[in-house]
Chain A
Amino acid sequence: MSKRPLLEAKDLHISFSGMTAVAGVDLTIHEGEFVAIIGPNGSGKTTFLNLCTGYLKPNKGEVYLDGTPIVAMAPRKIAHHGIARAFQIPQLFLDQTVLDNLLIAMAAKQGIWSWFQNLRTARRRAEAMAMLTMVGLQDEADQFASALPEGKRKLLDIVLALALKPRLILLDEPTSGVSTIERFSLMETLMKALREAKVTALFVEHDMEVVQRYADRVAVWDSGRVLTEGPPAEVFSNEEVLRKVVGV
């Protein structure tokens, strides 16, 4: 794991109608790291993700992706620069099949502008099926995305993000809505896929066991700012954290 900073948020501020949602956040994610963000509901975690993906513009501060400032960019451009997003509520093409969802995402990466070539080329299909098999969705390939249960929808959402072959993937509560039993197999699969593809990951998570097991570093969020950060062992032995976040 290199120590090269990939994403750097510097002094990020944003307020909505007088209420400060993110109040001066400095956070650095290094290449290859899996960083978890934890914190009570409403503490600004998803807002932070939105700021990093162009959905919101900050009042102050900057976010650098490998040195390039990205806060003023449209989500589209940020995606091109290598950040992919998976959402808390999976954003899928519900009236397309699972396979087509992925094919569209892959075509978006490879260049959507071909109008004469078929979407479902043999090569693209094979690549897509490989990705689906990797996460265990191969049996649902021909089902409509709307027919998928929540857990699988989340998986598909993440796979779509991975199709962009991003450098950094932002996951918003990847295990929420997933049954406790399936949670770990999902994370195992996901982590394996991410490590293989050498993708850096930042994920918002509420399940502390998942965080403890899979995160290299944890950033604790509280009232719009980073309370503390460090390896899970360190963070989870911090009394203030335990009190505010874990609820002990």
Chain B
Amino acid sequence: MRPFIYLLAALAIVGMAAVPFTAPWLQFVLTLGIANGMVALGVAILLRAGLISIGHAMFFAIGAYCIAFLSRMGINEFAALLVLGVTGSAVAGLIVGAFVVRYRAIFFAMLNLAISMVVYSLIAKMHGVTGGTDGMPLHTPTFFGVLLDKPGFDLALYYFAIVLMLIIGYLVHRYWKSPLGYALSAIESNELRLEYLGVSARSVLLIAYVVSAAISGLGGVIAGSAIGHILPDFGYWTSSAQFVLIAVLGGIGGAAGPFLGAFFLEMLHSASVNITDAWNLITGIALIVVIVFLPSGLYGLFRKRRRSGS
């Protein structure tokens, strides 16, 4: 079973690598898919502890706005933007996380939503600083020192994103299999027992939250760079909803799941852009369908029943 999955994954990666030549119109969609997958992965990390953040788009937005500000300040190298953008999101995650990890369940979810709405409204209202609802443009940065035109940069970004996806996916996979990752699951199983074993649930969660925020910010950096323009909508609750759906759908598939879910959803978006824009309706229905009809899938996510020896 295992080798088959690896083979499938390898084929998928090769397929993705060939896209700019075989199906160039997919390149942008897949780049965004990877970016969204990153945020969904961030949400999935917290889901492991049974916590649902319905406001995670804020870190996606913070990552994107960080690089927009940096670019405006004159920093024009992608590598620098990337590192600084992710750091900015991580710091934001530390600040927000220090507060929200005291809470669980619905309180946690709603606090995240509330804070994300605050972030959104600050971004949308501070026209002078953030351009308000017009957003901020992002000039094509140099790519590791190499000056490229937009199409060239997009191509480089695409391949870089694929590499990042593999690296981050692998690292999160290791995280989930480590003592710290199991501690995260243990928080949902029996937080009391964990505390009596001498482990601080808050510290475990804070680490998870910061990691999750950083990865989401990375997604924002990728998306922002691909689109070339940053808008407050990056951080709107509708975006958070999408990330939650992707995380819930794809959560069964370990660290790869969110990316698969993101690709699927992104392609669905672009295919139906002329048919409907009732994405909240669809997302809402999809969420309810998943939790009603795929309880084992969901249980796979929330109850983590694993086959022994896997």
Contacts and interface: CB of A to CB of B under 8 A. Distances in A.
Interface stretch (B67-75, B98-106, B159-167, B176-184): B176-184
A51 to B, nearest CB: 14
A95 B306 CA distance: 9
A244 to B, nearest CB: 32
A117 B200 contact: no
Given A97-B308, A115-B174, A118-B178, A76 B200 contact: yes
Contacts of B175: 115-116
A167 interface: no
Interface size class, chain B: 20 to 34
A180 interface: no
Interface string B187-217: 0011011111111100010010000000000
Interface in A108-162: 108-109, 111-120, 142, 144, 160
Contacts of A79: 195-198
B180 A92 contact: no
> Interface SS of chain A: helix, strand, loop or mixed?
loop
Contacts of A160: 193, 197
B177 A119 contact: yes
Interface residues of A, number: 38
Interface stretch (A8-16, A26-34, A98-106, A225-233): A98-106
A93 B186 contact: yes
B145 interface: no
A94 interface: yes
A142 B305 CA distance: 11
B151 interface: no
A92 B193 contact: yes
> Interface SS of chain B: helix, strand, loop or mixed?
helix
Contact of A119 (B181, B199, B303, B304): B181
Nearest to A85: B196
A156 to B, nearest CB: 11
A57 to B, nearest CB: 15
A188 to B, nearest CB: 26
B182 A100 contact: yes
Given A91-B190, A104-B183, A117 B197 contact: no
A115 B197 CA distance: 18
A157 to B, nearest CB: 8
B140 interface: no
A97 B304 CA distance: 10
Given A91-B190, A94-B190, A112-B180, A142 B197 contact: no
Given A95-B304, A112-B204, A119-B181, A104 B198 contact: no
Contacts of B179: 104, 107-108, 111-115, 117, 119
B196 A116 contact: no
Contacts of B174: 115-116, 118
A107 B179 CA distance: 6
A93 B190 contact: yes
A96 B200 CA distance: 19
Given A76-B198, A95-B304, A96-B186, 7 more contacts: A80-B198, A91-B192, A95-B305, A112-B183, A114-B180, A119-B178, A120-B177
19 contacts: A74-B195, A76-B199, A79-B195, A95-B189, A96-B185, A97-B308, A104-B194, A107-B179, A107-B183, A108-B183, A108-B198, A111-B179, A112-B179, A113-B180, A114-B180, A115-B179, A118-B174, A119-B177, A144-B305
Interface of A: 53, 74-77, 79-80, 84-85, 91-97, 100, 103-105, 107-109, 111-120, 142, 144, 160, 163-164
5 closest residue pairs by CB, A with B: A107-B179, A142-B308, A79-B198, A93-B189, A108-B197
